[in-house]
Structure 1
């Protein structure tokens, strides 16, 4: 591994799916304030919806999400009933019957719901909102538990995209992360969904897993590409056992070292491009002609808690335990513990727990970070001018940017920052130069590569 890249690769930094990032959200945020934020939305602007289902039918040891193991269905059924009530509470808090441009079901595993409960929830959404003609309606799934009936019903409900956590096809790696799913199982699920009318298929792949090698991740890319998913996300495994207790089941001695992780990331990216995929932002890949590729080409690519997206909505409304939303006024996050979340909804309260209003240069810095993360390039002065900031407002970022420029990771001309091909995997570190919250933060983050 290049010694310069090795020096940077182990530096911890946020993933920048938001700015300010989630560790800075403040406790004690009230539903009254959230209702005020929702009430003043422009009723003519489409919004996005995110619905969170924290349940999974099987535990994956690598997972860092807020999830609950659903050994019985009763808790899942009760959750679905409460989520329907939150849908109504939220819709009633909005200024009008608004349009949805994107809807995303995440988790956990949303298909841990049975088809009838999922259909009832989607019917409730349609009862309160209209969809734009080109709306994307997406759901995350698990090929180990997806049934033929659920795949058919997903298509009938109008879902346009489904995502799978493939991660890695090597059996030794799968056993080490407690997620055994051979390629044939994944292909069957893909075929069932496409047969049901779901045109868009996303795969998630992970490097840096226990016992993983360059050879195994490249073979996984080839097996995945043979199924021709429209989009592939290539993530680095974040080992955070202090947050995700299930990760303590993974033997740390089996994890690849920094140089091995970087080699896996580079080899997987190269293999995806060789298979005909276009590199998008930091870690996404899409087929030529896909809407994500088009957005990356014309400068309209966005980044949010689901990763890279074509979603242009100014507002994302989150529902379900621990879900995160964003309005033009700031971020809001729901109660994480499902019991407390449920009690709040049953009492008729929007179940918010944390929030963060935008203040000072938050929106300006967020725009700069997003463009850098999406385009690999940003003109800080030009964005500053749109926000009414004086030229050179960004100069506190210079020391970190200059260090990376000296090492050939980016070019720096005035306020214009452009990642080099060598520095592209380290774009999060360049983005961190503009993060004024980071220096006083006690949050722990994953490594850069």
Structure 2
């Protein structure tokens, strides 16, 4: 469904397996690239030495170096840093040995600069002391070997020395470009993964909270988010027969049904610029005029309520049977805000909220029950039918109405 971001940490809980971060994983990949590339270069030199009369000792040492370098990536199983240090140690030892055997005119000293450039990416930029120490060693090895080892020890023929110098210039350049380029490529991938994760977290936050509230919450010095609204409209809807249906329907089918229905209702709420507050099981709550006050919120909420039945009619129940809705609407002042620190959510409270909930719970399946205030405010635009007084918990007798449709529509008999 959603793409996985590369910056997360993998952990084998309950085992002794080491924790490997993606940063360490990328470093190990770079070590593997460097080690295998270096092994290929060593194999080429060993082959030339054996076939064309090069010094046997140097050819043998180069071949052994090829085998050792090829095994270096396997050290990664012992820790994220072991393979990187192993590559640097083996590389330094191989270069020093070959320089002593053949001389510094072979161009082998160039590889020390390649090792120095690769060090921060191999051992990690967070290990500053280790990186700095390794860079110093690689850099210092160049003048030390240059002034203590002859340029040509005489063990290799002149053609091999000249050819080695040219080949090493090219190979060192290719290795440097490959290692640094691969490191930059991995950095770009990491940046892209972070951007992707940020975009998804922004989208998720936008789904949890209203856009304006989310912006306030992201401010570094945001205060407690709690706002009062003098005029808001609230709707509660409940799926009639849901409990009975869910008791004999597979859980996956129930969830699939709710997902389908709520997805369509969410799209409808967005169409009318309403804010879905929450769903509790088969109960659906929407408000108008919150968090962005506007004068036509109650009218749009009424239209939303009427369209809900069409949406619900297009979504058959999980057991195939049609399910009806019971809807209640009230209007009045409310308080809205964000509560919680980790599993936070946006909610509204107030007498109007409780009254809307009572309108739904005392309503009739397939009808929209509203308070007298709602009827009075929408009387010129919508058709209503008086239900009569009903007992509302905490409110006593309340005169309620059924919202039938637009004022020009003919109310059902």
Query: Does TM-score exceed 0.5, indicating one fold?
Result: no
| Shorter-normalised TM range | under 0.3
Normalising to structure 2: TM-score of the pair? 0.19
Q: Taking CA–CA contacts closer than 8 Å with sequence separation of 6 or more, which of the two structures ends up with the larger relative contact order?
A: 1
Q: Higher Cα Rg: structure 1 or 2? A: 2
The structure in which a higher percent of residues are strand is 1
